Structure 1
Amino acid sequence: GSPYSALMADFEFGRLPRDVSMLQKLSNVAAAAHAPLITAAAPGLFDLQSFRDLDKPRDLAKIFESAELIKWRAFRESEDSRYVALALPHTMMRLPYGPSTIPVTEFHFVEDASKPEFFLWGNAAWSLAQRMTSAFARYGWTAAIRGYEGGGMVGGLPIYTFKSDDGDIAVQIPTEVAITDRREKELSDLGFIALCYRKGSDSATFFGGQTANKPKVYVQDDATANARLSAQLPYILATSRFAHYIKVIMRDKIGSFLTQGNVAELLNNWIAQYVMLNDDAGQELKSRYPLREARVDVTADPARPGCYRAVVFLRPHFQLEELTVSLRLVATLPPPAAG
């Protein structure tokens, strides 16, 4: 069948052991399928009743140092946590029903909008998924999902205006809380992807792409940069897509008698068609040739006689922070010859 680009889970995960255990198991599935899990964090993970309290001054990092979250920290340090994206906060799904907002024609109905919790709030993971599908529709590539001009802007969000008790016009923004640049950086460092409202507009933006993974720190700067980059959702999506194609190519070769060298030549010739060395090319051209460099090394899989492992090194053009760093993925290939 056709591989999935990503898995959507309309759930929120908190700090309970069963939540972390389920997230760990889902990350194993996502990693095996090379399909990142797009889901959301619950306010309870931050020891909050509501994301509206997220703007209060507090050190979020200290919250995650508690003994209660030992399992959570272990999950973040696992390799498969790179395949989990946790979005926040809640987003307004629609305006309240009413004659001046969304009229109900069958009968007179005015929805109570006197308190923020009365609004219809939804999962921010859907907004992130929408950015992914938009990027794919435009470029055939899901990497452009971050930044106001880089594909991370979610527009056309509902804005609710009303008269305050003082008689002034007040606004209920379309995200449950307005997240500052400083708070967004703090959340990103903790493994979350925040949707940040743009003041005075009907839009919000995903500026970060950090997965739940906590990147390792190495002695060598290049290794640290590679670990940090490999924990970013755009690049997980990019490498996963190539893993899908490589597995399909080898699946179609089942029954053929290919040596290790033949497999390496086949895969390197295939991936070379997506490489372009011109760094000054436009984005449309880079969408057709998304890689600056690529190489596939094929080795025998010691755990599975007759099978190979493909180690793929990629350097994408899209939104690459570290031009000296390549992405690396390992894909287990089916045996090329019938047993």
Structure 2
Amino acid sequence: IKFLQHLSILGETSQIPFISNASAEFFGHDDMGKVMNDRFLIERIKEGAEYTAWRAFRDDDRSKYVGLCLPRFLGRLHYGTENDPTKNFNYNEGQGHDLWCNASYALASNMVRSFEQWGWSVKIVGVDSGGRVENLPTPTYEEGGQKKVKVPVEASVGQAKDSELCQLGFIPLAHWDRTDYACFFEVPSTQRPKEIKNDPEATANYSVGARLQYTMLVTRIAHYLKYRQLRFVGKNAGAGEIEADLKKWLDTLVADFPNPQEKVIAERPLRSYQLHVEELAEKPGFFQVTAEFRPHVAIIGMDINLRLVAFHSGEEK
């Protein structure tokens, strides 16, 4: 945990998030399948004495610069004459030697793909919105005289467990049933979003700020703002001129209208922003830039209420 604390400080200073992985041992198990079947997981992590340091780390605002993924995914099949033969010599690696890769590599790949296509690493969640990890190996095995497909992730993550892990500050990679791909449905940071009593707006701000895709967005903007303001070094420019120049660029990232298309959101990821530049009275020639960004918030879930009726309201019986 102390190592993660140092990394979060470094992430805040450099405005670069750190992404790694959580093993089964972190949860007190020797197998990721046992983690997924642990009915008391959320209770132990939220109340267990052994996770006191973890809870304190999550309450630190800098923990939003850290993301921990799980479980591992299948990178390739084991080498063998039937599965993946080698070219130069006959080599049979044998069962149980499959290459398992950390899920952080899959998430980083999605981030790079989103950045390559749109210029922003925000389209990284959802089956049809950049969250897929495609073309995973699908080995088969026999059971009861029938061939079955082995799940290409270390352990199956159900919908309930996916939500539970996200709530605990982890990024789950879930296999989409009967396909060769898995998917990230949420990418929360390790930060625990604060709940402000009687202030839903502040609570919503903390919730959005704890999602890694929006941290990636803001840190990218921060890097460019820092680069852009360097153009004024050595010039006789005031706060108003600097602010106008920065706003001119930020305006190109805004799409402030209801229900924009996915392409528009990807290219213009901000719904609105506020930016203010002021000169520091105690440091002539130094300016402080204060900014707030409101991104387009993607759907991460729905509560569905169903009611069984014989007739709809207003219909004759």
* TM-score class normalised by the smaller sequence: 0.7 to 0.9
Distance in structure 1 (CA, Å) of the matches to 2:169 and 2:224: 28
Is the Cα contact below 8 Å between 1:127 and 1:154 reproduced in 2? Answer: yes
Give, as a single letter, the amino acid of the residue that structure 1 aligns with 2:61: E
Deviating more after overlay: 34-43 vs 224-233: 34-43
Among candidates 183, 186, 192, match of residue 161 of structure 2: 183
Give, as a single letter, the amino acid of the residue that structure 2 aligns with 1:21: K
Aligned residue number for residue 306 of structure 2: none
- Aligned residues: CA RMSD: 2.0
Give, as a single letter, the amino acid of the residue that structure 2 aligns with 1:168: Q
Give, as a single letter, the amino acid of the residue that structure 2 aligns with 1:23: L
In structure 2, the CA distance between the partners of 1:112 and 1:301, relative to structure 1 (3 Å rule), is farther
SS in 2 for 1:48: coil
Is the Cα contact below 8 Å between 1:143 and 1:318 reproduced in 2? Answer: no
Is the Cα contact below 8 Å between 2:123 and 2:266 reproduced in 1? Answer: no
1:105 aligns with 2:87: yes
Among candidates 266, 270, 293, match of residue 272 of structure 2: 293
Give, as a single letter, the amino acid of the residue that structure 2 aligns with 1:85: G
Aligned residue number for residue 189 of structure 2: 211
How far did residue 300 of structure 1 move? 5.0
Distance in structure 1 (CA, Å) of the matches to 2:218 and 2:210: 12
Aligned residue number for residue 53 of structure 2: 71
Deviating more after overlay: 70-79 vs 194-203: 70-79
SS in 1 for 2:145: coil
Q: Which string of whole-angstrom CA distances, capped at 9 and with x for unpartnered residues, describes residues 248-301 of structure 1?
A: 011222222333333323222221222233334433233333322122122456
* Residue correspondence of structure 1 range 1-339 to structure 2 within 5 A: 20-64=1-45, 65-113=47-95, 115=96, 118-164=97-143, 166-219=144-197, 220-300=199-279, 306-317=285-296, 319=298
SS in 2 for 1:93: strand
How far did residue 140 of structure 1 move? 1.7
Give, as a single letter, the amino acid of the residue that structure 1 aligns with 2:10: V
Distance in structure 2 (CA, Å) of the matches to 1:254 and 1:267: 14
In structure 1, the gaps of 5 or more residues are 1-19, 322-339
Percent identity reads 31
Distance in structure 2 (CA, Å) of the matches to 1:258 and 1:272: 21
Distance in structure 2 (CA, Å) of the matches to 1:22 and 1:302: 38
Aligned residue number for residue 304 of structure 2: none
How far did residue 214 of structure 1 move? 0.5
Give, as a single letter, the amino acid of the residue that structure 1 aligns with 2:20: T
Distance in structure 1 (CA, Å) of the matches to 2:253 and 2:34: 46
Aligned residue number for residue 311 of structure 2: none
Distance in structure 2 (CA, Å) of the matches to 1:230 and 1:320: 15
Give, as a single letter, the amino acid of the residue that structure 1 aligns with 2:69: A
Is the Cα contact below 8 Å between 1:210 and 1:233 reproduced in 2? Answer: yes
In structure 2, the CA distance between the partners of 1:51 and 1:109, relative to structure 1 (3 Å rule), is same
Is the Cα contact below 8 Å between 1:47 and 1:63 reproduced in 2? Answer: no
Q: Which string of whole-angstrom CA distances, capped at 9 and with x for unpartnered residues, describes residues 28-72 of structure 1?
A: 111111111111112111111121212324221222222222221
Give, as a single letter, the amino acid of the residue that structure 1 aligns with 2:267: R
Q: Which string of whole-angstrom CA distances, capped at 9 and with x for unpartnered residues, describes residues 112-133 of structure 1?
A: 21x4xx3221110000011111
How far did residue 108 of structure 1 move? 2.2
- In the comparison of the two structures, how many residue pairs are matched? 298
After TM superposition, the runs of 4+ consecutive aligned structure 1 residues lying more than 6 A away are: 302-305
Give, as a single letter, the amino acid of the residue that structure 2 aligns with 1:251: L
Distance in structure 2 (CA, Å) of the matches to 1:102 and 1:302: 68
Is the Cα contact below 8 Å between 1:290 and 1:318 reproduced in 2? Answer: no
Q: Which string of whole-angstrom CA distances, capped at 9 and with x for unpartnered residues, describes residues 153-185 of structure 1?
A: 111001111224x43313321100010000000
In structure 2, the gaps of 5 or more residues are 301-317
